[in-house]
Amino acid sequence: MSLGRTLLVIPASSRAWQWPDHVAVPVLDAPHVTTVLAWPATSRSPAVAALVAAASRAHDVDPARAG
């Protein structure tokens, strides 16, 4: 039997893309997560540079870190 409901745990930063008919409920007891990026110092990859820049911007605006 299906209840027609789905549960998804995603970062708070994704709320900007949330549809109006969805509900966001903070998970206050979840542990903080640390993500580490590493790449060779000699890398000149535009894709790696874009990933690092995007991760840096996401870190700067993470609402979980604001409080």
Tokens (6 digits) for 62: 């993470």
Tokens (6 digits) for 29: 């007891």
Based on the structure, what is the number of domains in the chain?
Answer: 1
Structural domain including 33 reads 12-62
Q: Is residue 55 part of a domain?
A: yes
pLDDT 10s per residue in the chain (67 long)?
556 677 777 777 777 777 777 777 878 887 877 778 888 999 999 999 999 898 888 777 655 554 4
Sign (positive or negative) of CA dihedral 6, 14, 27, 23: negative
